[in-house]
Structure 1
């Protein structure tokens, strides 16, 4: 009885049971041109996908040399005659001054003093003055330690300005270096040696006291000046 009922069921053709292979249609490519990116709420202007607009913004590079050079003193009008040219600072001297300002900020001092000028010379490290100091046992760590002993630690919550102003002793040291170069008449640049000797000329300054305590003397100053005066010497 069951077999007879099953025989009466409609049969499905075998061909209709087969699955037809799926054929994927080719991907639709859209060309996003600037003209197709118009929008009524963006105004009449359209966005541009040109390569120039996709470039990341180039950060503005601040030239330390240009910034620091404005802080360094050049010859005052009364110092130079009309026929003379005001001396400029050498590249190493400018970098040493920049490092001095940075060191004053790291120590959280409100000003850049003669002690910071010495540390700036040592941090720059490639000049004759820096090599001469290290050869005579005057290192950055020693100068930093003596500075803290002499001037003390600053308030940890104090924020030093970006360009800590010069102390009176440091300003006179820089002026001394410029005057020395003018008097020499060689027409060269003011070097780190002139800067260091300018610090040494300020007898009552912290920089002079620190140098003296670390073994620097008038004899050493004359030796350094003699080395910098040798023919062919260039300390740019």
Structure 2
């Protein structure tokens, strides 16, 4: 419906009471129409404000979650099939995924032991993470140590979606699997195994950072003793 412009001459042309009543009714209708609809000043078309589609938000979240791996990259072992390899706990998988993300935040080309260490702290609920924090090793301290040790990346560099593992980081994962196999125990490979695997890489950046922040063999023994608690937590 096109909008009408009312002038003084058009008002004076309304002479009869019947026409006046018609005019008042039309004005009332026009006013209520404007208050209940958004009209374009150009063509009078109704403007529709669309509400966010909740289904879109759900789908977006699902696609994000699906990018998280259900396992961690480990090397093949002679005489041990992939089906017989122990599985990683949900916390270990999340720690690994958070480590990749931290590497990307720092714009590093690889996921090193230092990134895995940050991932453990970001996940934060494992016994390993609790022991680290109890000994004053926090995410912010580790990140500062990493920047001091490895430097900052080029601000225009963009890390790949899944930065490949460095050799020490891969060895840390393999060590964790090997130790679980040697134990002969059932159950998953927990974050404690992952952290111990990182510690065992003596020349790695994460080992140097942990030593600089006060971690030592006494703390390692404490971590070994916490293994049973970590196994219980991984099944919650």
The residue number in structure 2 matching 1:69 is: 70
Give the equivalent residue in structure 2 for 1:43: none
Change in Cα spacing, 1:18 to 1:162, as seen in structure 2 (3 Å) is closer
> What SS does structure 2 have at the residue aligned with 1:202?
coil
Q: Say if 2:86 is the partner of 1:87.
A: yes
Distance 1:56 1:206, change over 3 A: closer
Q: Residues of 1 paired with 2:89 and 2:170: CA distance?
A: 17
The whole-number CA distance in structure 1 between the counterparts of 2:181 and 2:145 is: 33
Work out whether residues 74 and 86 of structure 1, in 8 Å CA contact, stay in contact via their aligned partners in 2.
Answer: no
Alignment-derived partner of residue 177 in structure 1: 176
Instruction: Determine the C-alpha separation between the residues in 2 that align with 1:152 and 1:18.
Output: 88
Structure 2 spans left out of the alignment, 5+ residues: 1-14, 26-52
Contact 1:174 / 1:198 at 8 angstroms: preserved in 2? Answer: yes
Whole-Å separation in 1 of the counterparts to 2:224 and 2:124 = 18
Contact kept in structure 2, 1:64 and 1:98, CA below 8 Å: no
Question: What is the CA deviation profile of residues 160-208 of structure 1, one whole-angstrom value per residue up to 9, with x for unaligned ones?
Answer: 1111110000000011111111111212111111110000010000011
Which structure's CA Rg is the greater one? 1
Q: Deviations over 1:7-27 (max 9, x none)?
A: xxxxxxxxxx85335498xxx
Tell me which residue corresponds to 1:187.
186
Task: After TM superposition, give the deviation of residue 125 of structure 1 in Å.
Answer: 0.9
Query: Are residue 202 (structure 1) and residue 201 (structure 2) matched?
Result: yes
TM-score, reference length from structure 2? 0.71
Contact 1:129 1:192 in 2 (8 A): yes
TM-score, normalised to structure 1, is 0.71
Alignment of 1:1-236 (within 5 A): 19-20=17-18, 22=22, 58=56, 59-60=59-60, 61-64=62-65, 67-70=68-71, 72-74=72-74, 76-78=76-78, 80=80, 85-229=84-228, 233-236=232-235
Displacement of 1:229 in angstroms is: 3.3
Q: Distance in 1 between matches of 2:133 and 2:87?
A: 26
Take 1:139 and 1:174, find their aligned partners in 2: how far apart are those partners? 22
| Number of aligned positions between the proteins | 190
Structure 1 gaps, min length 5: 1-16, 25-54
Cα separation, partners in 2 of 1:121 and 1:133, compared to 1, 3 Å: same
Measure the CA separation in 1 of the matches of 2:98 and 2:157: 19
In 2, Cα distance between the equivalents of 1:108 and 1:119?
A: 14
More helix, by proportion: 2
- How far apart, in 1, do the equivalents of 2:78 and 2:63 lie? 33
Moved over 6 A (4+): none
Aligned residues: CA RMSD: 2.7
What SS is found at the alignment partner of 2:63?
Answer: coil
